Amino acid sequence: QVQLAESGGGSVQAGGSLRLACEASPPTYDPNCWGWFRQDPGKEREIVARLRFGRIPDYFGDSVKGRFTISQDNAKNTVYLQMDSLTLEDSAMYFCAAGPTYACLGNWSVGSFSYWGQGTQVIVSS
């Protein structure tokens, strides 16, 4: 049974930083594509970033480009989302997802990701 476990969420003041982590288990699971999504109550889940091993990451939305960085530690089977210069609009539940290669290709959808974490809350205050 593959499981994804997020951590690192919390409360931070605007302008601050957080680093989210998502560890996959069992260690033998090695996804070809990782993704970070976020969701506000009553809104659709939106992708923030995705990473295919050995490739340049994709970032979605001008608001996160230059502020968010997705990275992977293969040894720990973990993917990270470094979030800097946080704004009030970044407050949301953040989810990590993992899936096959096509989840990181052009013709992808949210359903392309096979596994999801339970989410970690990020609250940015003024």
Identify the pLDDT of residue 56: 93
| Torsion angle, alpha carbons of 71, 24, 18, 123, to 10 | 130
C-alpha–C-alpha distance, residues 66 and 56, integer Å: 14
For residue 66 the two structure tokens come to 């230059």
C-alpha–C-alpha distance, residues 37 and 51, integer Å: 12
Q: Tokens 């994709």 map to which residue?
A: 58
Residue 30 C-alpha from the chain's centroid: 16
| Torsion angle, alpha carbons of 57, 71, 9, 119, to 10 | 60
pLDDT digits (tens, 9 = 90+) for 19-71: 999 999 998 898 999 999 999 988 999 999 999 988 999 999 899 999 999 99
pLDDT band at 80 (very low <50, low <70, confident <90, very high): very high
C-alpha–C-alpha distance, residues 116 and 35, integer Å: 9
Q: Which of 105, 111, 80, 86 is nearest to 16 (CA)?
A: 86
Contact 9, 18 (CB under 8 A): yes
Q: Tokens 């409360």 map to which residue?
A: 11
Reply yes or no on whether the pLDDT at 76 is more than 90.
Answer: no
Reply yes or no on whether the pLDDT at 74 is more than 90.
Answer: no
